[in-house]
Amino acid sequence: MKIILVSLDTLRASRLSGYGYGKPTSPHLDQIARDGVLFERAYAADIPTEVAHTGVFTGKIGLTTGVISHGSDLTYLPKSVEWLPNLLRSAGFTTGAVDNMYQLKEWFARGYNYYINSVGGNRWIDGRKVNDLALPWIEQHQDESFFLFLHYWDAHTPYLPPESYIPEFYDESKDPFDPSNKSMEPAYNHTAYPFFKHHHYDLVGQVTDTDYYDALYDAEIRYLDDRLKELDDHLCKLGIQEETLLVLFGDHGESLTEHDIYWDHCGLYEQTVHVPIIMRWPGRIDGGRRVPGFVQQADLLPTLLDAVRREAPAGIDVSKLSDPKGLDGINLWQAIEGESEGTHETIYLSECAWQAARGIRSGRYKFIRTYDSGPFTRPPRELYDLTNDPEEKVNLADSNPALADSFEQQLNEVVKRKLGGRPDPMVQQLQERGLPFRRRIEQILAESGMSWEEWQRNPDRERFDQASLAHSRAK
């Protein structure tokens, strides 16, 4: 038995053809879904990358593990917390990963016989490099029962797809650098501009058309789709596709100007928390299945453990694969086999990076409670009727305070129950360190001789650009 778990970093569900998008971003992903099962309403309980992946590998949300923040030096995952690669290795699987999250936190390298760090000289990682490292490993271990984790970053900023992929998604008669187009002005004048100038805008160029950035994102997804086809073709070539359980998930999505968020993944809105999850296992999962109900990333761990117990492959001690205690994830097999619509009636949501907020997603409504809005302007409470307002544009918290109060009480009860008397890690983070991503902006501003307070009073990009240029010349 082979298990390949694939993280599609920053992949927004609604930007895939299989989830209803009208452009051809994902022909091979769509084929995988047709041959397996697609979860229509899959959610990231915790965002962004660090907390989302911790949830996948523990089967527990951040309130349970205490890992609620991305990039915080306060966060630590005890080695006593059971971890998917550890569990599978102890049962007899050969475990491997092509990933670079070890650069974030050491626990992401736990449990692997082979951890191949894909980090390079650039901040971004090309999916071709992931394949160059992964495909030989698969060939070397094709006769073993193995678990392989692959982490593709192509849809993450900066969007730098091969130029040949862009024309399919951007009108070639348009000029993305046309100075008369002012659609980029809100992004360039946003409070978070110093961070994105450094990590994104300068790498792409002085684009003036927001549609071009959206096209670059689509082109990155299409490029990623081709890399996944290369992976799949390799499994076919080796004759092991039929025995491979392939699981693909997005750790979080991406906002493309919605809610004052410009090509980034913060905010508990659908663009960021609704993620793809697709599984294929020939002969074990009927093709063409679509699961309509709520599921979450933490459901993957108990589902994979049960898959191994069902298969009972030779040489694997399934007695070591009992579900860990205290899981938030729920086994997906009943939903896969059509015995249930999903695994959860509501989804708890959380973030603590650019902003600190928690939320509840029910069948019709979403409630968001913001504790620190960071560089954004947010009301303390947001309530959306997603049936009538799927783009979350009309905040009902003030016009329907009783319903907002009901959801806030439900949210508080979830937090209290999950913490079980332990200190709230989000409160601790905000009191002791503040928002991690605000500190990133502060560091960039400091290098240009500016303070956060000064920048907030007057977030003038031209002034920052001049200060940044003067600082670099002085160096």
**pLDDT computed for residue 122 by the predictor:** 62
Q: What per-residue confidence (pLDDT) applies to 10?
A: 98
Sign of torsion over alpha carbons 276, 306, 335, 230: positive
Please, what is the average pLDDT of the chain?
95
Contact of 448 with 468, CB cutoff 8 Å: yes
| Residue 439 scores a pLDDT above 90 | no
Q: Is the pLDDT of residue 469 over 80?
A: no
Residues 148-195 have pLDDT tens digits of 999 999 999 999 999 999 999 999 999 999 999 999 999 999 988 888
Task: Report residue 121's pLDDT band, with 50, 70 and 90 as the boundaries.
Answer: low
Asked if pLDDT for residue 123 goes beyond 60, the answer is no
Distance CA 43, CA 273 (A): 5
For residues 300 and 6, give the distance between their C-alpha atoms in angstroms, rounded to a whole number. 12
* Cα–Cα distance, 266 to 258 (Å, whole number): 11
Residues 75-113: tens digit of each pLDDT: 999 999 999 999 999 999 999 999 999 999 999 999 999
Tell me the pTM: 0.96
Domains (range + CATH), the chain: 2-174+209-346 (3.40.720.10)
Question: How does pLDDT run across 187-222, given as a tens digit for each residue?
Answer: 999 988 888 988 899 999 999 999 999 999 999 999
Q: Give me the mean pLDDT over the 22-28 stretch.
A: 98
For residue 392, the model assigns a pLDDT of 98
In the predicted structure, residue 355 carries a pLDDT above the cut 90: yes
| Mean pLDDT along residues 380-399 | 98
DSSP string, 377-401: ---SEEEEETTT-TT--S--TTTSH
Is-contact 369 413, C-beta < 8 A? no
In the chain, the percentage of residues whose pLDDT exceeds 70 is: 98
